[in-house]
Chain A
């Protein structure tokens, strides 16, 4: 083991140790010691991640095994690390955001009885996520994949007395399992057709396998890679909450706010995006799968953004915003602009974490009120929260200069250049969403921080800025929210991802994007003359007009919009449909199979029927064996009489 390999191990093991200490010994060592230990270990994790990242920048990539999990049929299933530009970037983002959330949690959860448990969970989550991104094979990817799902389940249901929370966590787990179902089938096909689950070995053979087909239904051959990629993407749809598996993410807001920031905005939900980028050597060989990715991403980005317009719960606005932004990343993947997707993943992690943690800060100040209709005018009480959220809102709306602008602009341009089926639709969605994004983000900002205070008198008296453990992470995350975009040159157009992400030569989006790029100032200047910029200006202005200038107008518009507004408010009735069709259907089917199949047919007819037959036959037989001698004598006489008659008269 070299020194670097020890460092690789340290990155996931430090949070794991924190999780175990806080989880198993939390009651013994108490709350303060628990958060000190976990945070100290998170510092170690961040430091190690940065060291690994710097080492990778020097060109030292690593691909090796930690231990052999299982051998069967001549295949070794291993746990191992692949450390390259993609995983190192993810490691830094995950560990940094996680550390900030750890610190923030001290403030947010300080009087919660489950304090230690919470720290244990978020450290365990960090461990799982790091194992996911550092994996060098599909099996470990699936381990991390399901493990983050588990921790997400535990955290959404953290307040396990709330009926809504325990409904939401079960729903989240099951919807994710639907995705994992596809994902596991995809992994199965990889194992069968490639004979290994190791990334490097699979990617090396990808072009050979590309010619093979599989007949899913007889007579219709599918390219094997298309099937594999679509199945893997089904997994991504679950984890990254893409339509139609998006339903769990808004409900996951039932969990405490720190985890909404960490898990349901910055990291776990990006696992699907990361995975598709990791699998670029496979996806690049199947245009059909890329088209599916594009269209799904397009639908998600526009239609989820529209729902955000009508939400009043501050966290739900941010949640739908997350769905929409994940849609952007998915669109980028479908357009073969993987670096742009990862770039947006990174900038989004920062600005979305700020929006969530800021929303959490507001929620603390409001004594756990989340309805924006009862807020307003908070700016003067909470300046740090306001300004950090303001910056994040600008980034989210894509205002030039902030991180979100660079990443989103790249995605929109890349889709513009893409020419596979579905690109036109995705481009339309991506552009239209700019307007919607700017509108709902500033609607949130205006309703919360500007205008007249609408909370009750008691709450207003107690309004104050959150403690430093809350504001420090906000500020620390606001810095990359502003600055991370300036890395666009090296990250997108340098050779940063050259060894990691493969793009087929016929998919020219990234290449054309690079040709158009003439430095950051030029990019910003050029943006001023494009539609997306003006759409975001219009969006911000509209939000100001409706929620500051004419605050009674939104109600009138909503009334006028009638069924359309209802459709948005009820989230297109998808939840109702699923709970009726899948939850209800499965229960109905289960009850039918049980009551009819098991109880009536198998037990009633066959088992008890057989028993009844035996019992009936023996009852009949028993009649003849009464034990009374005169019965036997009588029978004998009758028998003799019959026999004699037969003999005489035949």
Chain B
């Protein structure tokens, strides 16, 4: 704790203010200035988030860097911020991703530059707000607010079918979260006038109301994750979104759903969580197996990676509902790792799209001839996406498979099929795109990646390898929080 310094507020509002400043630069005449401010703002946003890790006390499970002020007195709504070992890594992931997105869009976005960059910075701040809110209404405001920039990013800078995709994205996620608001209002009643999430954690609830609230939360979080069968908005959104939008969507926004389960469903509704664990595990395993097969037959690279995201996020929800350390920590690791890997995969596809303006696998082939450096990076990330040991992709999957084995052999069996399907869909795509002879003349014209692209991919490569070879620093900060959460979930709230 830095002497009562409002660090979390800074982490939230600095990117938002920078985003407003970027917007203020106006039209595309000032595009270079907009880019520069966006870069400085996003890097500053990452730098101010670093003390969250370095000053974090891993030995306590109480909230840290707490700020608490009354916001709306009439309804007892507070501006209440704080992080634990679950929220903090996600904030860092978000702050880490934003500069990459800014750099990745540097020359690629030429239209409405300030609005594009501004939207990402504002979204970055909003998402930090989601991960640090300890007041339900504050959380809800940030949660819904995060939809707006992404809606605009898809709707304005998206592909030909962007309007359908943007509206599908918006409605799907909005409808999901409306019931969450209803649940908050109900909890407000039961708790006799509190919106404090930490109060809710202690609130005794009957089984019937726990199950109803669980389902309300489930709709909000499952859509966001997304879990099977409410995942169909994701491939459409990714396909139409610009590269940066896909990166943030996959790397960050999906994590909000996962985070919701840990912050709300498990601790507020432990009995319902246990009661419905079987269903949650089944849905997660369907995501792993079913979606893995669906990914195999995609002809569009972005769709393929979008489906692969659903399958990988299946490991996250699977890990949550096994109720053991490997599972929860593995799920957290998987979320962070998926942030790196999916960002890298979408950036790689973006690199090719910028050159050939196609996402169809069939339009490529033999890219390695023209772009050997790119091919090497893409290989690394493809292997990470297949869960190769030594990359971050392995760590979470490994831990969740171990966690499943603790509970049931067949859970582990089904989860481990990802070793085969994950490699099959990723490497089969890689083979058809990168290897082989050049058949399309357009591929012959492709230029290898430049310094800006190398920079972004190198940063991600270091993250993927670093976390794969030495994940200890990440899991160390989670142990106490996870232990506490598991102990909490194990206690019944029924009276």
For the complex, give the distance between the alpha carbons of A214 and B413 in Å: 14
Q: What CA separation (Å) do A181 and B421 show in the bound complex?
A: 11
- Within the complex, what minimum Cβ distance (angstroms) separates B322 from chain A? 11
Q: Which residues of the partner chain A approach B428 to less than 8 Å between Cβ atoms?
A: 170
Interface residue SS majority, chain A: helix
Among candidates B298, B325, B401, residue contacting A188 with C-beta atoms closer than 8 Å: B401
Inter-subunit contact B412/A188 (CB<8 Å):
yes
Is the C-beta of B219 less than 8 angstroms from some C-beta in chain A?
Answer: no
Residue A625 is within 8 A (CB to CB) of chain B in the complex: no
User: Which segment of B198-206, B252-260, B387-395 sits at the interface?
Assistant: B387-395
Instruction: Give the docked Cα–Cα distance between A185 and B479 (Å).
Output: 25
Instruction: Tell me whether A607 and B416 are in contact (CB under 8 A).
Output: no
Whether B390 and A593, one on each chain, are in contact in the complex, defined by CB atoms closer than 8 angstroms, is no
Most buried by B among A69, A146, A184, A587: A184
In the complex formed, the residue of B with least CB distance to A216 is B409
* Contact of A559 with B by CB under 8 A: no
Contact of B232 with A by CB under 8 A? yes
Task: Tell whether B472 is near chain A: CB-to-CB under 8 Å.
Answer: yes
CA distance A174 to B435 in the complex (A): 17
Interface residues of A in 554-577 (CB under 8 A from B): none
Task: Choose from B295, B368, B401 the contact partner of A160 (Cβ within 8 Å).
Answer: B368
Interface flags, A171-182, vs B, CB<8A=1, else 0: 001100110110
Docked complex: A287-301 residues within 8 A CB-CB of B: none
How distant is A244 from chain B, measured CB to nearest CB, in Å? 15
Q: Is A74 in contact with chain B by the CB < 8 A criterion? A: yes
Residue pair A590, B295 in contact (C-beta under 8 Å): yes
Total interface residues on B, CB under 8 Å, equals: 59
A594 CB within 8 Å of chain B: yes
- Residue from B405, B412, B420 in contact with A177 in the complex, judged by beta carbons closer than 8 Å: B420
Indicate whether B353 reaches chain A with its CB closer than 8 angstroms. no
A365 to B413, CA, bound (A): 50
B359 part of interface (Cβ distance < 8 Å): no
Interface centre among B369, B398, B428 (most CB of A within 10 A): B398
B475 beta carbon closer than 8 Å to chain A:
yes
Over the window 201-223 of chain B, the binary record of Cβ atoms lying under 8 Å from chain A Cβ atoms (1 yes, 0 no) is 00000000000000000000000
**CB within 8 A of A185: which of B416, B420, B424?**
B416
Establish whether residues B424 and A191, one from each chain, have CB atoms under 8 Å apart when the complex forms: no
Residue A192, interface by CB 8 Å:
yes
Task: Please give the distance in Å from B481's CB to the nearest CB on chain A.
Answer: 13
Nearest Cβ in chain A — how far from B387, in angstroms?
A: 9
Q: Mark A156-176, 1 if CB is under 8 A from B, else 0.
A: 010011010010001001100
A613 to chain B, nearest CB (A): 13
A181 touching B294 by the CB < 8 A rule? Answer: no
The answer to whether A587 touches B405 (Cβ under 8 A) is no
Determine the residue in chain B with the shortest Cβ distance to A23: B376
A586-B293, A590-B295 in contact; A192/B437 too (CB < 8 A)? no
Q: Is A212 on the interface with B (CB-CB < 8 A)?
A: no
Q: Is B366 interfacial (CB-CB < 8 Å)?
A: yes
Once the chains are docked, how many angstroms separate the CA of A188 from the CA of B369?
41
Does the CB pair B395–A189 fall under 8 Å?
no
By beta carbon, the residue of chain A nearest B421 is A586
Q: Is the CB of A587 within 8 A of B435?
A: no
Please tell me which stretch of A316-324, A476-484, A595-603 contacts chain B, meaning at least 4 of its Cβ atoms lie within 8 angstroms of it: A595-603
Contact between A586 and B329, CB atoms less than 8 A apart: no
The minimal Cβ–Cβ distance linking A203 to chain B, given in whole angstroms, is 20
A142 an interface residue at 8 Å Cβ cutoff?
Answer: yes
Q: Are A590 and B297 touching (Cβ within 8 A)?
A: yes
Q: State which residues 23-77 of A face B: CB under 8 Å.
A: 67-74
A185 touches B406 (CB 8 A): no
Question: Does B383 count as interface, using CB distance less than 8 angstroms?
Answer: yes
* Contacting pair B294 A590 (CB below 8 A): yes
Contact bitstring A206-234, B, C-beta under 8 A = 1, else 0: 00000000101000000000000000000
- B51 sits at the interface (CB 8 A): no
Q: Which residue of B lies closest to A607 (CB)?
A: B232
Q: Is there a chain A Cβ closer than 8 Å to B18's Cβ?
A: no
Task: Work out how many contacts link A and B, with CB atoms closer than 8 A.
Answer: 131
Taking the complex as formed, is A589 at the interface, i.e. its CB lies under 8 A from any CB of chain B? yes
Q: Assuming the A-B contacts A72-B399, A185-B416, are A147 and B389 also in contact, with contact meaning beta carbons closer than 8 angstroms in the complex?
A: yes
| A586-B472 in contact (CB<8A) | no
Q: Is A493 in contact with chain B by the CB < 8 A criterion?
A: no
Q: Is the C-beta of A312 less than 8 angstroms from some C-beta in chain B?
A: no
Question: Within 8 Å of chain B (Cβ to Cβ): is A591?
Answer: yes
Answer yes or no: A150 CB below 8 A from chain B CBs: yes
Q: Are A71 and B476 in contact (CB under 8 A)?
A: yes
Given contacts A70-B472, A161-B437, A598-B232, contact A587 B296 (CB under 8 A): yes
| Interface presence of B39 (CB below 8 A) | no
Whether B278 sits at the interface, judged by CB under 8 Å, is no
Instruction: Indicate if the CB atoms of B416 and A191 lie closer than 8 Å.
Output: no
Q: CA of A214 to CA of B233 in the docked complex: distance in angstroms? A: 41
Q: Is the CB of A181 within 8 A of B420?
A: yes
Specify which chain B residues have a CB less than 8 angstroms from the CB of A69 in the assembled complex. Answer: 469-472
Interface residues in B279-335 by Cβ distance below 8 A to A read: 290, 293-298, 324-326, 329-330
Interface string of A597-618 (1 = CB under 8 A from B): 1100011001100010000000
A199 within 8 A of B: no
* Min C-beta distance of A242 to chain B, whole Å: 18
* Pair B417/A73 contact, Cβ less than 8 Å: no
Please tell me if the beta carbons of B324 and A594 are within 8 angstroms of each other in the complex.
no
Residues of A within 8 A of B436 (CB): 160-161, 163, 166
Residue pairs across A and B with Cβ atoms less than 8 A apart, 7 shown, are A71-B472, A146-B389, A147-B390, A153-B427, A188-B405, A586-B293, A602-B232
A70-B471, A73-B324 given; name 19 further pairs at CB < 8 Å. Answer: A72-B325, A73-B326, A74-B325, A143-B389, A146-B389, A147-B388, A147-B390, A153-B427, A163-B436, A166-B431, A166-B435, A166-B436, A180-B419, A192-B406, A589-B293, A590-B296, A594-B294, A606-B229, A607-B233
**Interface of A toward B, CB cutoff 8 Å:** 67-74, 142-143, 146-147, 150, 153-154, 157, 160-161, 163, 166, 170, 173-174, 177-178, 180-181, 184-185, 188-189, 191-192, 214, 216, 586-587, 589-591, 593-594, 597-598, 602-603, 606-607, 611
The 5 closest A-B CB pairs, nearest first, are A73-B325, A188-B405, A590-B293, A590-B297, A166-B435
B interface residues, Cβ below 8 angstroms from A? 168, 171-172, 229, 232-233, 290, 293-298, 324-326, 329-330, 366, 368-369, 379, 383, 388-390, 394-395, 398-399, 401-402, 404-406, 409, 412-413, 416-417, 419-421, 423-424, 427-428, 431, 434-437, 469-472, 475-476, 479
